Each structure stands twice: as structure tokens, then as C-alpha cells.
Structure 1
Amino acid sequence: MQSKSWRRVLVALLAMPLMMLAASAYSAPKTLLVLGDSLSAEYGLTRGSGWVALLDQRLQQEKIGASIINASISGETTIGGKNRLPALLSKHTPDIVIVELGANDALRGLQLSATQSNLQAIIDMSRQAKAKVLVVGMQIPPNYGADYAGKFAQLFPAAAKQNKTALVPFFMKDIADKPALFQADRMHPNEQAQSTLLDNVWPHLKPLLK
């Protein structure tokens, strides 16, 4: 009986360093800056129900010390994000910048070269500010032109590969082909889709939090 008690104590003592190591991996508080458009700005949603708000909840649940600055604006383009970023970096000094932009560039038919250049500038500025970058990949329907849509979709993985940044391959994965997960405008995901958006981002964001 006594030997069993000692075994339990020994197991507990051996487990403690592992538990402390796991906790210390996320011990330094992080500041996350979300630079996005309506998909991250809770367009058409009840406040607090968007994927960024759900991200805040998940961070708390996993006991990861981090604060989120949601600088997303409905209708934002990559040029708008690029122009706003210097002030945001100066004010908030984020550890991680999540770049969720580009969809409105495509909707307006902007030159792909301009979107590419703006994404590169956003990545460069973020890195100069010592922030890690997570590029959020977007796609558009082929009715915008198969060639344009294909080249647009490649902008994001190309930027991530060139700069060796983290990448969410497709933000709207498991949503884009499900009409029931969209608002009446058929463009913006509804509340039911927000947890899926978070699930698409989380596996690529979590390693950056260590």
C-alpha cells in the first residue's frame, strides 16, 4: 500500500516539469493585431459573435495570455490596410499581425500586381516592427473570370512562401460551398459560420503564440 503511494508521488513529481514546460510555452503575453475587412469586422453580425471575438474566447479557454486589437474595417482593401498599418504598429506594437485583406481588391477588379505589392508592403512593415505575420488566404468565384480568380488565389500562398510567413490556405474553407452559412447578401458568412472561420485560422495561428 505504501509503495503505491510512493509511486503516485513519484509520477506526480515527474509530471510537474512537463506541466510547467507546457505552461511556460505561452507564458509571455502577446498582442495580436487583426488587419482585416468585413469578414473580420462582424459585418451583419451581433457584436461579439464574430470569429475574432471567438478567438479571444479560445485564448482564454486555453489560458494563453494574449490581447487582440481588431483593426478590421468593412470594405477595406490592401491599399487601405497598408496606409493604416504604420500608425497601428506604432500605437499597439503587436507581436503578431493577422492579414485578412484582398477580397475587396478582387471585387473591385483591382490589378493583381497592386494587391501583391500592397501585401508585400504590409508584410515588410510588420516584420520591421518585429511582428510575426499570418497571411490569410482568400479565393473568389470563377465568375469573376477563371484566369483572374486563379491568379488571385495564388497571391496569398506565393506571398507567404516568398516571405516564409505562416499561411491560412483558405479562410472560407468548408463555408464557401454552403449557402446556408451565408447572410442574405450571399457574400458574408453568418453567425453559424464564425466558429468554422476560427477553426480555419487557429492551427496556423497557435504556433505563433509560443
Structure 2
Amino acid sequence: MKLHTLLKFRYFLLFILMLSCKDAPKRESEAISEQQTENATASEETSEKTILFFGDSLTAGYGLDMEEAFPALIQDRLDSLELDYTVINSGVSGETTSGGLNRLDWVLNQEVDVFVLELGANDGLRGVPLTETRKNLQQIIDKVREKNPDTRIILAGMQIPPNMGPEYTAEFRKIFPELAEKNDIPLIPFLLEGVAGIPELNLEDGIHPTAEGHKIVRDNVWEVLEPNLQ
């Protein structure tokens, strides 16, 4: 990634594991808060529009360098097309829809033009009740719209392995298209289309994409994102 692009591409949180977050020292929390304030201020001082990716480890680029994760690859493509957008990666490893809802307010302290919502996978892997996942996602959508009705929201669809049983798996998959239809927002049908289940495109855990996998994820996202750019 070019230096100017790397400087332009900003992260709220970098590879924060869910279990370690609970015991993080106070000074770390304060440092994160200061960084968020600086990001918000910088955004206000520029005429560039902002695309915010709000998600979990898939968005954060777990196991990779920051420039290899799909949000950074989206920034590269925007820059190559000379589109005046700045990408912010607000992905947190281990994040659930509940955790995302809890941290949403400070994320929305800055103006966001496009909000890409990528949450739910960890709910499904942990067997969180489907009604709770659906409710949390809806509340996130509602809060974004309450903050700024002009923010364009894009929902990333997710699927999970059949560990929780076929009924749970099928109902989980339906949450995303149904919410997209209900709220009249664009849907990325399946974020990991062409990546999930392919060993060479995933890390050893079989869940998180490799750098090559993220290139495919970028294309999945771009297909839906591009028509929603002004």
C-alpha cells in the first residue's frame, strides 16, 4: 500500500480479542478514546466522504497486516479510481451484535456517509438466540438512521456451519435478507462467498480469510458498495 493511502486509511480498533478486552488497563481505554476523538476531528476537517465498516474479526482482518484486510483493499480501489472517500475500519475481533450495539454511540460521534454493517457471525457460532441477534441488528440500523437519516447503510449477509443444527443454521441465514428487505437497504448476500470452506483461502482456524481470501471478500463488498457511492 502506498504511504499516502496508509496514512489515509485509519483504524478505530486493531485486532482486539474479546477476552482480553475485559481486563484492558484504563490507560489503554483512554488512548483508544483519544484516538477516536482525533479520527472524528480529522473527518470533520476534510471534505472527503466517510465509509465506515462496522464489524468483527472478518472486518478487522484477524491474523493479517492491516493493509491486507478487505476494508484497506476497498480504500486502495477508491484511491485508484480517484473517488473522494476515506475508509474507517471499526472491526473488533470477537464482536457480537450485542457488543456492537453497546459501542455504537461513540462510533457515530463522527459523520458517516456509508455504514457497512458486518456483525452476527459470532452470535451464530455461539448459539445466541436468533431473536436477540435480529433485534440487535435492527437496533443498530435504527440508531444509525436516528443519528443521520442520510447515512447509507449496507448489510453484510452471513452464514454459519451447521454445528447448531439445520433449523438454527437456516433461520440464521434468513435474518440478513429479511432485515435488508424490511429496512430497504442494500444487502451483500454472503460476505464470504467464494471463500468460506476453501482451505487455501482461510487461515488454519478455517474461519478467517487469508490475504488472498480478503481480495475475494473485497470484490463481494465492492459489487454492492459501488452503486451506493455518490
Per the TM superposition, whether the score is higher than 0.5 is yes
Letter in 1 for 2:69: G
The 8 Å contact of residues 197 and 206 in structure 2, kept in 1 or not, is answered as no
1:75-108 CA-to-partner distances (Å, cap 9, x unmatched) read 0011111111111112x21011100000001111
- 2:175 aligned partner, one-letter code: L
Distance 1:109 1:119 in 2: 16
Matched, 1:99 2:117: yes
**CA distance in 2: counterparts of 1:140 and 1:199, whole angstroms:** 20
Unmatched 5+ residue regions in structure 1? 1-27
CA RMSD of aligned residues (A): 1.1
Aligned mates of 1:134, 1:204 — CA distance in 2: 8
Identity of matched residues, %: 42
- Equivalenced residue count is 182
| 1:177 shift after superposition | 3.1
- How far apart, in 2, do the equivalents of 1:177 and 1:83 lie? 31
Instruction: Pick the structure with greater CA Rg.
Output: 1
Q: 2:105 — aligned with what? A: 86
* Secondary structure in structure 2 of the residue aligned to 1:48: helix
Among 125, 143, 146, the alignment partner of 1:125 is 143
- CA distance in 1 between counterparts of 2:75 and 2:85 reads 8
Deviations 1:147-198 (A, max 9, x none): 1000000000000000000100000101113111110111111111011000
Indicate conservation of the 8 Å contact 2:70/2:218, yes or no.
yes
Tell me by how many angstroms 1:203 deviates.
1.3
Shift of residue 209, structure 1, vs aligned partner: 1.0
Aligned equivalent of 1:67, options 86, 92, 101: 86
Matched, 1:36 2:61: no
Distance 1:174 1:42 in 2: 17
Q: Deviations over 1:112-132 (max 9, x none)?
A: 000000010111111122211
Note the alpha carbon deviations across 1:64-84, whole angstroms, 9 max, x for none: 100112111000011111111
Which residue matches 1:157? 177
Distance 1:88 1:178 in 2: 33
Equivalences for 1:130-209 in 2 at 5 Å?
A: 130=149, 131-209=151-229
Distance apart, 1:207 and its partner CA: 1.5
Contact 1:126–1:132, Cα closer than 8 Å, also in 2 = no
Counterpart residue type for residue 191 of structure 2: F
Question: Which deviates further from its counterpart, 152-161 or 170-179?
Answer: 170-179
Structure 1 residue identity aligned to 2:219: D
Q: TM-score, normalised by structure 2?
A: 0.77
TM-score for the superposition, normalised by structure 1: 0.84
Where do 5+ consecutive residues of structure 2 fail to align? 1-46
Q: Is 2:52–2:116's contact at 8 Å kept on the other side of the alignment?
A: yes
